[in-house]
Structure 1
Amino acid sequence: MRRELWFGFTLMGLIVAGTAWMALSADTLTNGHYGLMMLALVVVAIMLGFPTAFTLMGMGIIFTYFAYHSGGQSAAGAVKQTLDLMVQRAFSVMSNDVLISIPLFVFMGYLVERANLIERLFKSLHLSLARVPGSLAVATLFTCAVFATATGIVGAVVTLMGLLAFPQMLKAGYDVRVSAGAITAGGCLGILIPPSVLLIVYGATAGVSVVQLYAGAFFPGLMLAGLYVLYVILLAKLRPHTMPPLPAEQRTVPLPPLTERLAQAVRGAVLPALLRALKGRRNLGVPTGHLLRQLGIALLPALLFAVVALLSWHVNTRPVAPTSEAVGLQSLEDETARVADDGGLAEPPGGDAPLERAGLAEPPGAAEGDGLQAPPGSGQQPEPSPVAAAGAPGDPAAAAPGRTPPTTGWWIGFGAGMAALVAFYAVFTWQRLEILRMLLASFFPLLFLILAVLGSIVFGLATPTEAAGVGAFGGFLLAVAYRQFNWGVLKESVFLTAKTTAMVCWLFVGSAIFSAAFALLGGQELVERWVMSLNLSKTEFLILSQVIIFLLGWPLEWTEIIVIFMPIFIPLLDNFGVDPLFFGLLVALNLQTAFLSPPVAMSAFYLKGVSPPHVTLNQIFAGMLPFMGIQIVAIVLLYLFPAIGLWLPKVLYG
């Protein structure tokens, strides 16, 4: 028998033995103990291969009937209440409009996948990163991160990168384990990086805003991808034999005929050469349109630097408006002086001492009447104060405050950027110009789609459902623009979308019925009493919960963990003062292990299905283990520095 089966049966035996020990050690078996037994039976049934959604539904119905019937209800009444509960729970899932975004995001992902952009992007990134240690693995991780942001589909990214990158890595002499680990770990980034379906499911389960979850998961996702890239580069430097550098012939880019003719006719750096060629274009035999297109591509880095510099200057030199405290203090002083002159208030004994002790001083020049109106009939016309001359707030005649000078930090950053820009153009060759053109053709459409979808969600311009509709339409336009759209692509995308959506929706229905049965039996109350009896601190509770989720990631997939166990954990968060948003980010990072931990490790099976015959499943598992360690490091960093995940939601949504 294979080791994976031994591991699975051993784990199931431990679950059954633990449940039996819990039942036998109790003085009296309550309904809560039966609820925990139901939970254990569901886990074992799923590990045996029973469909998750229908297992949850069937167990929920059986134990709901038991809960009603054991409470003194007749058999007919218990059946009626059980059926009523089923209808109510199913209707509550159907009326959750957040779930509408799931089929739209999935449809967008399948269309983008079939637009064949992933192959173009991987090739251009591979060429642009050719001089980086472990360039093929780094390009693989970058490609996976970009496609995770554009699709959020794990299986599709792992399968496609297994077809594109894995053969090239093996041909270049890369170690099988390192190659498999980079592909499987990079493909799993779609679990965390928005638009992640996991975050939608967690938000609907925990009652947390999906918009805030998307904003919070952005930087943790980038951090995890950055840790992957850093590990690959360090490994390539320390153990070069695992990722040998690419030969020179694989780093060259064939130039188009017109660009080749231009490069031979005009020597020197690209930007001055293009300007000289544009001046003498009639003698080169190169169309003016081609010259202008090449010049526009070459000037894009300079234009991007100019836009960033102007925006940063605008923010850095923004006028500083007077604070509300200062405005309120000035109004209080003016009101006090006016009432005193009208005779409405008498000065308290002791002169100005009370005001001075209270932190209020008489405005300068107040003794001369600055800014105060003379009593009626006095005939005096005091000189207006500088505040009055400047105009009241909101007065159109008031002079707008000027901009402040740029800070020293801005000038340092501007100088460093200018130096980097000059150095870039100094080494900007014709081949690098072609690589930049390839990057623009493959990355820019995806970037525009990502900004349209995620930007509209994060900045509050659209709900996740509306943004998902825009994304699905954008995926359709990309497939049409790259001439990859046909009836077969549409039919397959619709079928896969319906299949995935049906699975998620049935999971929600089954989870809703199961959670109701668990609550009716008192299982949640029993778990809560047990956890509170441990007298855990907030840190200890978070460590315990994350360890449990990490262990559950071995036999179960993330969907099962979210829909079965999150309804158990979420009610406990208030007792320990844990923000559900922060807990969701920790869970999303942790559930990366559900795709990287044996014996389930679905990404390993995705890769095995498209890998050469000599690549074994054990080699793929061994390659994934270091990346699991990196995920644990990322979880620790997020816990130690919660601002990584909470800063952006706090800035955007207060």
Structure 2
Amino acid sequence: MTDPQIALMMLGLFICFVFLGFPIAFTLMAMGIGFGYYAYFDARRMWRAFDRLDETAGSWDQWSTWFEGFFNNRIFDLFVNQTFTVMSNEVLTAVPLFLFMGYIVERANIVDRLFSTLNIASKNIPGSMGVAALITCALFATATGIVGAVVTLMGLLALPAMLKARYNPSFASGIICAGGTLGILIPPSIMLIVYAAASNVSIVRLYAGALLPGLTLVGLYLVYVMGRSILQPSAAPRPTADEVPDVPAGRLLWMIITSFLPLAFLILAVLGSILFGLATPTEAASIGALGGIFLAVIYRAMTWQRLRESVYLTVRTTAMVCWLFVGSYTFSAVFSYLGGEHVISEFVQGMNLTPIQFLIMAQVIIFLLGWPLEWSEIIIIFVPIFLPLLQFFEIDPLFFGILVALNLQTSFLTPPMAMSAYYLKGIAPPEVRLTQIFAGVMPFLACVIISMILMYLFPQIVFYLPEMFYGS
């Protein structure tokens, strides 16, 4: 077999192992080192070590000489260097800080106050409880960026209240599932940090580029929720006085000040300091983590147990991301050295695709990968395969990254592997069936597709803010 054929076999075996359920990070590392041993094997270096073995035969040194001959392969140097590169990456330093901010905010009892306040403030709007749940999801998802946490917490908080208010179970479930995934796209998104580290695109420009598409998607969601509430009042009945009590204007203003403004100020402070160049993403994430602790203390929700849980979850998630990067860098270096990347590049270029056709093909592949894989695995492992082709098709990596972030919304919403639906089903009342949740997310899936089409037709939705803030 030729080296490129071995590279393609390497990729095929990896996909097989993924579907068999092997841990992805360690599979990447094992296959990278295994195939890399073959790729970087130097017989002369091996035999030089074994010549020394003959000279020291019968002595204790023969074992050390044998090990020296076995490990005398550049793949081990590559693995160590890639590990050091990942651990010293300044962009990835922001990941644990944003994660810690999210986990602290999740445990600060802010969300229940926020939902109650928005529910009262929007009671005269069609689908008021759905609108309140969606805005709460958007703010909470922006603060945490952790889909499972947002969907689970909002499912425990908002879904029972919406069902009690006679909302259609499918409609209510769709609102929570769709709103919970917004943290992938809206800054400060952890996914965009990971994409920036994988693609060498400025994280500041990515955040600026993602802001308008994120707000566009939230706007489409709100239009759908209010439009359906008007056209089908039975799906979202107006709340009664018992369900949403009348509150004096002064008290409502105080509720907004104490529940909505602190979280909104924290998000705007973190995001604004990044966009206006007042702080690096790492420095802003540090401010956000400190602000999350301050909010938890102010709301009297900070306990030693919650702090310990937040630190543990932060370390666990950060370790997963970093080891995925180490495995991916090692795997991709060997794959490229064997010529696999060149084969894929030549194959795609030989298809004579237009840039739009290439974008659609890439997004369809990422959409399908979103069924069995998490977003982190797609961004770290598979997106780098497409990145070298962007220059050939004259596609801006910034635009491609925002498209991917939008596309990954669908991976959480598309049956049969819609993870947000399974998160919600795990904590929903027994009468809410999985098929109802699947039916409820489909209109929101259509909103995501519409927003992607709008980006294809009007790319300035992505480029306007980066060009305004930082130039072309």
Name the TM-score, length of structure 1 as normaliser: 0.67
1:86 partnered with 2:79: yes
Once the two structures are TM-superposed, the CA of residue 498 in structure 1 deviates from its matched residue by 0.8
1:105 partnered with 2:98: yes
Q: Which residue does the alignment assign to 2:57?
A: none
Q: Which residue does the alignment assign to 1:439?
A: 256
Tell me how far apart the structure 1 counterparts of residues 270 and 28 of structure 2 sit (CA, whole Å).
34
Matches within 5 A, 1:568-587: 568-587=385-404
Q: Which residue does the alignment assign to 2:60?
A: none
Q: Which residue does the alignment assign to 2:304?
A: 487
Describe the superposition over 1:627-646 as per-residue Cα deviations: whole angstroms up to 9, x where unpaired: 11211111111121111111
Q: Which residue does the alignment assign to 1:136?
A: 129
Tell me how far apart the structure 2 counterparts of residues 628 and 30 of structure 1 sit (CA, whole Å).
43
Tell me how far apart the structure 1 counterparts of residues 414 and 371 of structure 2 sit (CA, whole Å).
5
Name the larger-Rg structure. 1
Tell me how far apart the structure 1 counterparts of residues 330 and 423 of structure 2 sit (CA, whole Å).
31
1:527 partnered with 2:341: no
Query: Which SS does the other structure have where 2:242 is aligned?
Result: helix
Tell me how far apart the structure 2 counterparts of residues 628 and 42 of structure 1 sit (CA, whole Å).
30
Once the two structures are TM-superposed, the CA of residue 504 in structure 1 deviates from its matched residue by 0.7
Match of 1:47 among 19, 26, 51: 19
Would you say the 8 A contact 2:412–2:419 is kept in 1? yes
Describe the superposition over 1:426-475 as per-residue Cα deviations: whole angstroms up to 9, x where unpaired: xxxxx233222211111111122112211110000110000111111101
Amino acid at match of 2:89: N
Q: Which residue does the alignment assign to 2:280?
A: 463
Tell me how far apart the structure 1 counterparts of residues 38 and 14 of structure 2 sit (CA, whole Å).
16
Tell me how far apart the structure 2 counterparts of residues 624 and 171 of structure 1 sit (CA, whole Å).
20
Tell me how far apart the structure 2 counterparts of residues 630 and 30 of structure 1 sit (CA, whole Å).
46
Matches within 5 A, 1:7-26: none
Tell me how far apart the structure 2 counterparts of residues 106 and 603 of structure 1 sit (CA, whole Å).
19
Tell me how far apart the structure 2 counterparts of residues 564 and 54 of structure 1 sit (CA, whole Å).
13
Query: Which SS does the other structure have where 2:73 is aligned?
Result: helix
Tell me how far apart the structure 2 counterparts of residues 169 and 226 of structure 1 sit (CA, whole Å).
21
Matches within 5 A, 1:147-546: 147-254=140-247, 431-546=248-363
Would you say the 8 A contact 2:41–2:73 is kept in 1? no
Describe the superposition over 1:99-138 as per-residue Cα deviations: whole angstroms up to 9, x where unpaired: 1111111111111111111111101111111122211111
Describe the superposition over 1:156-178 as per-residue Cα deviations: whole angstroms up to 9, x where unpaired: 11111000111011111212211
Amino acid at match of 1:537: T
Once the two structures are TM-superposed, the CA of residue 48 in structure 1 deviates from its matched residue by 2.5
1:618 partnered with 2:465: no
Match of 1:66 among 21, 26, 38: 38
1:636 partnered with 2:436: no
Would you say the 8 A contact 2:104–2:293 is kept in 1? yes
Unaligned 5+ segments in structure 1 are 1-28, 255-430
Once the two structures are TM-superposed, the CA of residue 565 in structure 1 deviates from its matched residue by 1.0
Would you say the 8 A contact 1:121–1:143 is kept in 2? yes
Aligned pair in 2 of structure 1 residues 113, 648: CA closer, same or farther (>3 Å)? same
Tell me how far apart the structure 1 counterparts of residues 126 and 72 of structure 2 sit (CA, whole Å).
66
Query: Which SS does the other structure have where 1:249 is aligned?
Result: coil
Amino acid at match of 1:99: L
Q: Which residue does the alignment assign to 2:372?
A: 555
Tell me how far apart the structure 2 counterparts of residues 527 and 78 of structure 1 sit (CA, whole Å).
31
Tell me how far apart the structure 1 counterparts of residues 83 and 231 of structure 2 sit (CA, whole Å).
55
Describe the superposition over 1:466-513 as per-residue Cα deviations: whole angstroms up to 9, x where unpaired: 011111110111011111111111111111111111111111111111
Once the two structures are TM-superposed, the CA of residue 77 in structure 1 deviates from its matched residue by 7.1
Query: Which SS does the other structure have where 2:238 is aligned?
Result: coil
Tell me how far apart the structure 2 counterparts of residues 594 and 53 of structure 1 sit (CA, whole Å).
20
Unaligned 5+ segments in structure 2 are 48-68
Describe the superposition over 1:69-92 as per-residue Cα deviations: whole angstroms up to 9, x where unpaired: 499985957862111111111111
Once the two structures are TM-superposed, the CA of residue 624 in structure 1 deviates from its matched residue by 1.7
Once the two structures are TM-superposed, the CA of residue 39 in structure 1 deviates from its matched residue by 2.0
Query: Which SS does the other structure have where 2:295 is aligned?
Result: helix
1:127 partnered with 2:120: yes
Aligned pair in 2 of structure 1 residues 546, 123: CA closer, same or farther (>3 Å)? same
Q: Which residue does the alignment assign to 1:30?
A: 2
Describe the superposition over 1:229-255 as per-residue Cα deviations: whole angstroms up to 9, x where unpaired: 11111111222222222123323235x
Would you say the 8 A contact 1:108–1:471 is kept in 2? yes
Tell me how far apart the structure 2 counterparts of residues 37 and 517 of structure 1 sit (CA, whole Å).
12
Aligned pair in 2 of structure 1 residues 460, 67: CA closer, same or farther (>3 Å)? same
Amino acid at match of 2:131: V
Describe the superposition over 1:303-343 as per-residue Cα deviations: whole angstroms up to 9, x where unpaired: xxxxxxxxxxxxxxxxxxxxxxxxxxxxxxxxxxxxxxxxx
Amino acid at match of 1:465: T
Tell me how far apart the structure 1 counterparts of residues 257 and 139 of structure 2 sit (CA, whole Å).
14
Amino acid at match of 1:499: R
Once the two structures are TM-superposed, the CA of residue 622 in structure 1 deviates from its matched residue by 2.3
Match of 1:601 among 404, 410, 418: 418
Aligned pair in 2 of structure 1 residues 590, 70: CA closer, same or farther (>3 Å)? farther
Tell me how far apart the structure 2 counterparts of residues 554 and 251 of structure 1 sit (CA, whole Å).
39
Once the two structures are TM-superposed, the CA of residue 151 in structure 1 deviates from its matched residue by 2.1
Aligned pair in 2 of structure 1 residues 73, 621: CA closer, same or farther (>3 Å)? farther
Once the two structures are TM-superposed, the CA of residue 34 in structure 1 deviates from its matched residue by 2.5
Tell me how far apart the structure 2 counterparts of residues 72 and 38 of structure 1 sit (CA, whole Å).
25
Tell me how far apart the structure 2 counterparts of residues 194 and 170 of structure 1 sit (CA, whole Å).
31
Q: Which residue does the alignment assign to 2:66?
A: none
Would you say the 8 A contact 1:105–1:151 is kept in 2? yes
Name the TM-score, length of structure 2 as normaliser: 0.92
Tell me how far apart the structure 2 counterparts of residues 173 and 37 of structure 1 sit (CA, whole Å).
55
Once the two structures are TM-superposed, the CA of residue 590 in structure 1 deviates from its matched residue by 0.6
Tell me how far apart the structure 1 counterparts of residues 98 and 129 of structure 2 sit (CA, whole Å).
29
Describe the superposition over 1:575-605 as per-residue Cα deviations: whole angstroms up to 9, x where unpaired: 0111111110111111112222234322222
